[in-house]
Amino acid sequence: MAITQIEAALPGLVFHRPSPEAEPFKAPGDAVAVGDTLALVEVMKSFIPIEAEVAGTFKGYAAPDGESIEPGDVLCEIEVSE
């Protein structure tokens, strides 16, 4: 089992949930399918969904909710299923 780090491609603010009151997109231990939304990045007054390009098990967010990120920063980790 390999851990894949999902890196930010956009500069902006990262959000773990679709709206302030909602549950996070993923919690540690959740299954991840290709195309699942993992987080939102706010840039240019738009919220851009960050979608999983690998399937596996969600390990957790690395970038805190609501904080600013730069391209290359690790957003979250996924344990990739073989």
Partner 1 sequence: MSRTITTVKPGLQTCVQELPGREGFLEQGFPLSGPFDAWSFRQANILVGNDRDTAALECQFMGPTLTFDADMLIAVTGADMSPALDGAPIPMYATVAVSAGQTLTMGFAKTGARAYLAVSGGIATEPVLGSRAVFHQAGVGGHALIAGQTLPVGVSETSALYVLPESARPVIGTDRVWEVEALCGPNDDWLDEATIEMFFSTDWQIQTKSSRTGIRLTGPDFGFSDKALNKSPDHGQDPSNIIDHGYPMGAVNLAGQTPIILVNDAPSTGGFINPFTIASAAFWKLAQAKPNETLRFRRVDRDGAAALRAEIDAKTKPEILENA
Instruction: State yes or no: residue 42 binds partner 1 (CB under 8 A).
Output: yes
Q: Does 45 bind partner 1 (CB under 8 A)?
A: yes
Query: Quick one: the chain helix, strand, coil %, rounded to 5?
Result: 0, 50, 50
Given candidates 18, 48, 57, 73, which one binds partner 1 under the rule CB under 8 A? 48
User: CA of 21: how far to CAs of 7, 12, 24, 43, in Å?
Assistant: 25, 21, 9, 21
Q: How many residues bind partner 1 (CB under 8 A)?
A: 14
CB of 31 to partner 1, least distance (A): 26
- Closer to partner 1 by CB, 42 or 79: give it: 42
